[in-house]
Structure 1
């Protein structure tokens, strides 16, 4: 209990010689099937191998609880490694992963000579020189999680994971805009512009060197370069004893603050989340599909005339259910028609626009234009679109007049049926 209280009272991840810590010497090693991790002094955190996919990954995780929670992953986009892999802290001070003889993969790039390593009770994995100065630390390279006493500085992005069990880089990112102070969520493939900002902290123009911070009491907040609190994202003040808090950019694109009761060995609980509407994160559904809430759970639906590319993967999107180029204007074809999809919003990548028009004119314009696959109509504005469409979701605004006119290429000809067309990416 004393070591646990030490962790809970710790207010800085800067380590001094007086702090209790694990000490990992040069020449130490780990393997997935043997000694697979190094523990922090209290045993709260571990650094080492954990199962992922058909093999193993290397990272930091909360130890000693039934539901293992990964909080940092090394080389997260590398494939899982086999059971005969070795993690070696070699005599040269390099931390390397050996998956095949003679092949070393660096886990950490230290800024100088390294003498020993530690897993701290804050969850920070640190490499030190002989003077106990930090040469590298995992806290400087967040993946999808921020721990108490860790900070996210401006212009350093962090990315969601692919799923709860696959900690590879996902499709959402979080960053503090350089010189601006706004904490913003973007789709991974969207530019740093307002059109792709699907959530922000509303702290623009608050200065440079702003950082995101998490306290041991669950207080999530933004500090400016003078050290002043410019925004409380959560108020904090939660129970400290026997609890741990962490913030995560989840795989569904929503930021959540979690708590975990260490004494009851309970599963994590959500204390705060950035969005209530789970369809708002841009890109949750792949190309040519749109997100609809089904009893508060997000569901991806294809445009009319489209089918899922991979029914088990909503980010894979949808494709046409026959090859339109081979069927249009061939003997036996009926031609093209339009089907409406109401109350949806999409990224506008139009090649032609009509203003101050009607929905009837918009529909006819797409139907008569060989390049048009979808026309987006809203408030008298008509935007003609090529495929693919992306960032689609149901607009829950009851006053919404948005309509997507989707062109269908119909044919009774048997040699056209069941061909598939993958929309150009």
Structure 2
């Protein structure tokens, strides 16, 4: 590969499934690549499964495998170089009669073509021409933006270049989940089942319920938006199925349950340092949805049940991007009340109020106070002055008795105060007073000062409006 290489098969042959075109994977060691070229990552996968994933993905040209993680790269590949102790590199190559077509081989050619004895002058000329051609292709690529439209009704495991999500058939998911028998969660979006794909990879299969869309195009548009999101604090969407009335989403499997389990069901509290990291993880994930991904996503249902924990203790946001697929009033705009009681921002209850990303900031603020205190925002069994968490936290803050919130737990006083102040700012009734998630992250990280919260929060409900049955159910 030091002397350069070319693609010896055509993309059409792969995408159209031509029978004369076959492919092989060549394993190369000690190669490093520019990670900006990675378009899809798959954690917790075997080396053989990584090779197979690239082999059947028409977009994948190179796959990198290291530490049980598979990263797929597509054209144009940049900055490949030899370095010791790098990830295993799988390179897709064409084989058989169809391979030569993309490489400029003659009609009767069969077998490899060897070029011997190229003069320095000729080699230099070729390099100049190749460089010019490369820049022209890159320019055209960005101008034209070639797209492959995925046929959702097809049983082929083809990919949408724009989305990089796999389309599953309903039968495939039925087999993968053993007939949807192992239920691992249930919530407002639907029921979640455990499944296995690629022979060994555990996944979570969510069967959407109460879904109202304008059909296949609307569903695919929402999948396109979700498919473009990639962040370490978001649960990764791997694929989907849309056949008739069946709409299912396939996510990476999160083995450690939800934040609700950690905060409210664990026999012992999650340690303080761990809770700080979880709070920051969630804030960074919401910031990405609001400001850093290509299309802004308002989650509309931030709560502990929608925060999942991976096997390394990292918090990831689930069910993002589904607001427009759920409830008939929301197929195009956020007009109907969306969310879970206790985490819903006050503006949801005012007719004709503008719903913005600040509704997620409010929900995050309520959840941040729950993370600090390891209890629900409403606890009818608590002493009267502690029933509504937001009121109690504010009163303790003004009385300079924040230690009451964590009882005998050893915590960092300054960090405790910082988290409480951020939480109180986030749950202000006036959305314009709430900080953006960018400011929330900066305040939690300590890079900017936090002024005193302006007033006591009122919360969306009074304590008397809550019963144990109205609290959100675990997924």
Please, what TM-score do these two structures have when normalized by structure 1? 0.28
Tell me which protein shows more strand as a share of its residues: 1
Relative to the length of structure 2, the TM-score reads 0.25
Which has the larger helix fraction? Answer: 2
